[in-house]
Amino acid sequence: MSITAQPESSAAKGRRAPLKFEVVSSERLTRHMQRVVLASHQFDEFARRFGGFTDSYVKLVFLAEGVDYPDPLDLDFVRQSFPPEAQPVVRTYTLRGIDLEHGRITIDFVVHGDAGVAGPWAARAEPGDVLHVNGPGGAYAPDPTAPWHLIAGDEAALPAIQAALEAMPAGARVHAYVEVDGPEDEQPVVSEADVTLTWLHRNGAPAGSTTLIADAVRTDLWPEGAPHVFVHGESGLLKQLRSYLLADRGVPRERLSLSGYWRRGETEEGFRAWKSTQPKA
């Protein structure tokens, strides 16, 4: 299918157009995590958008097979002019790393067989495959002046957690909690900080169904001073910890980075629709 007539482009209207990246390499890190490295001839533009955040995220655009899309890709035009079966699927992923010197980005994908869109794509990715990328955005980076740091999340947040720990200054005190399915899903963590890392294992329980992280945070020792907090992952985790951090521990709101990356039982489209109905925290 091909549609050639185009209205005024998104770029002409002042909106960011997705940038075209190509796969450089793809490798399986653990049984449920696939790492894909991508490069782009448009990387200078991508780098200009980068804010230096350790939770930098991108919007990945997955195009329908057999459809002739405009080049450069104009998502506004596609949404207005293409039929439902030709609409791209957009998924949000945190950058595991950005290599400004060599013009590359690294994204770690959680893979559970053929479920979903992004995971199966990553598992099959080969050098030369094209992926359109919008972003990056972001909001969090560790405060080097904080008396200590509280970091927690599940597999979806692990890339951002690893990036945050790598960015911590030497001697920073960090309590980190990461929930994964089992020991085989743990990954090496590199940091110059004084990190106490607790891996929490679901042992076959569905992701997003446990209270492992919240229980560990509530029962662990609480150092002096207000921490800089990063808690990202399944939306239920935020619900479990938000009131505890604000009311019970008195952490100022400006010291909290709380973000739901996904919601159990929902696609990203369903999650976005659900979030739109929720009151602002």
Q: Which helix (H) or strand (E) holds 163?
A: helix 158-167
Q: What is the pLDDT of residue 276?
A: 72
Those residues whose C-beta lies under 8 Å from the C-beta of residue 158, and which sit 6 or more positions away, are 33, 108, 178, 180, 187
Domain with CATH 2.40.30.10 in the chain: 19-137
* CATH architecture of the domain covering 149-276: 3-Layer(aba) Sandwich (3.40)
Q: In what order do the strands lie in the sheet with 149-153?
A: 194-201, 173-180, 149-153, 228-234, 256-262
Per-residue tokens: 117? 């869109």
Distance CA 234, CA 153 (A): 8
Provide the β-strand partners of residue 38.
23, 105
CATH top class, domain 19-137: mainly beta
For 225, how many CA atoms within 13 A lie in the half-sphere containing its CB? 11
Asked if 169 and 144 touch (Cβ cutoff 8 Å), the reply is yes
Q: What is the pLDDT of residue 267?
A: 74
Distance CA 1, CA 84 (A): 13
Asked if 38 and 104 touch (Cβ cutoff 8 Å), the reply is yes
Q: What is the pLDDT of residue 11?
A: 47
Distance CA 117, CA 146 (A): 39
List the one residue out of 121, 146, 143 whose CA is nearest residue 131.
Answer: 121
Asked if 10 and 28 touch (Cβ cutoff 8 Å), the reply is no
Asked if 232 and 243 touch (Cβ cutoff 8 Å), the reply is no
Per-residue tokens: 168? 């911590």
Mean pLDDT, consecutive 10-residue stretches, the chain (281 aa), reads 52 69 97 97 94 96 94 93 95 95 97 90 97 95 97 95 97 97 96 98 93 96 96 90 95 95 76 67 52
Asked if 179 and 200 touch (Cβ cutoff 8 Å), the reply is yes
Provide the β-strand partners of residue 95.
107
Domain with CATH 3.40.50.80 in the chain: 149-276
Distance CA 172, CA 190 (A): 13
Those residues whose C-beta lies under 8 Å from the C-beta of residue 106, and which sit 6 or more positions away, are 35, 36, 37, 38, 95, 96, 97, 98, 99
Q: In Å, how far from its chain's centre is CA 57?
A: 5
Provide the β-strand partners of residue 104.
39, 99
List the one residue out of 233, 197, 243, 237 whose CA is nearest residue 55.
Answer: 233
Q: What is the pLDDT of residue 16?
A: 74
